[in-house]
């Protein structure tokens, strides 16, 4: 058992979201956002960080957080229990948990916070859930994923703010893949005993956005569920399956319209690459989403 008093809190605060209070010896942070996932690299140490439950609305869905220990050694204190955390360990929790994080030396963390519709893809866990997941990189998927996450943690220092659709998609896949591995260890919290199906379906959609024929019937067959079950799965998202597919296609298409490297490509070619070959329907949907037709949007944001 580690004595929590070994790392006393110091005066001072460092805001992180709405619930992080950091008595600081040393801490540097930089964040990027992509598709509802906020990714932060934290270089700290020595430092003591206290996470407090600031959620006053018991009916509000918690915001899920995953910490990945990139380097160093630290200690967590949660509900009177202390655990040693070393390189490669994940901490899976939410913003309803009270715990503290102590690092006696220099450490680096990668922190992923899932907001908005991303929270609908997470398992159902009790509020304030807290779990330490050790050595997730030893799995076959983890051995490929975690080197990429370490690279992402380094590159975050060269980027600021919200990522565009292109690199944003990459970060989205990395983040959701990390969530799949982390929450697989929390299967006892999930009524189905594993990673939620919605994650799998959304990943399938992302891979097939360029295929005109993708839709509820093909997705339901791919995942061995009924179309009714698929529609029910999307109810918490606030969009139907086809609304979600249409929005993701339009976002990718809009990104390509303003890409200077694609300025030579015809608009209908770009649209077809995103599974939207019907020019009349494309113009209608694009105008509804962006207020102007595709040609005018490209002229405004990517002039010759």
pLDDT at 250 over 90: yes
Q: What contacts 297, CB < 8 A, 6 or more positions away?
A: 254, 257, 258, 286, 290
CA pair distance 191, 215, nearest whole angstrom? 27
Q: What is the average pLDDT across 123-144?
A: 72
Contact 58, 190 (CB under 8 A): no
Question: Residue 33, SS3?
Answer: strand
Per the model's pLDDT, the better-predicted residue between 89 and 135 turns out to be: 89
Full-model pTM: 0.55
Q: What is the pLDDT of residues 108-130, one digit of tens each?
A: 888 888 765 555 555 555 567 78
**Reported confidence tier of residue 62, pLDDT bands at 50, 70, 90:** low
Residue 269 has pLDDT above 90, yes or no: yes
pLDDT in tens, 208-227: 999 988 999 999 888 877 88
DSSP code of residue 63 = P
Say if residue 55's pLDDT is above 70: no
């Amino acid at each position: 058992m580690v004595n929590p008093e070994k790392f006393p809190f110091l005066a001072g605060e460092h805001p992180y979201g709405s619930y992080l209070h950091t008595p600081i010896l040393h801490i540097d942070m930089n964040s990027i956002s992509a598709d509802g996932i906020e990714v932060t690299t934290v270089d700290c140490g020595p430092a003591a960080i206290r996470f407090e439950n600031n959620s006053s609305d018991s009916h509000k869905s918690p915001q899920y957080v995953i910490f990945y220990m990139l380097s160093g050694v630290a200690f967590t204190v949660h509900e009177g229990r202390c655990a040693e955390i070393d390189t490669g360990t994940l901490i899976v929790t939410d913003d309803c948990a009270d715990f503290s994080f102590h690092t006696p030396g220099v450490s680096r963390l990668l922190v992923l916070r899932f907001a908005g519709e991303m929270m609908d893809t997470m398992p159902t866990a009790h509020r304030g859930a807290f779990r330490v997941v050790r050595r997730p990189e030893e799995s076959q998927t983890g051995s490929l994923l975690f080197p990429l996450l370490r690279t992402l943690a380094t590159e975050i220092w060269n980027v600021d703010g919200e990522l565009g659709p292109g690199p944003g998609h990459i970060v989205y896949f990395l983040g959701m893949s990390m969530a799949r591995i982390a929450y697989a260890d929390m299967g006892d919290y999930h009524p189905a005993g594993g990673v939620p199906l919605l994650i799998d379906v959304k990943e399938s959609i992302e891979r097939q956005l360029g295929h005109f024929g993708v839709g509820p019937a093909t997705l339901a067959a791919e995942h061995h569920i009924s179309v009714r079950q698929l529609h029910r799965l999307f109810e918490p998202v606030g969009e139907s399956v086809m609304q979600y597919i249409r929005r993701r296609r339009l976002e990718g298409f809009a990104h390509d319209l303003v890409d200077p490297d694609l300025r030579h490509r015809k608009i209908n070619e770009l649209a077809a690459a995103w599974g939207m070959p019907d020019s009349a329907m494309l113009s209608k949907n694009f105008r509804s989403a962006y207020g102007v037709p595709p040609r005018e949007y490209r002229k405004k944001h990517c002039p010759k």
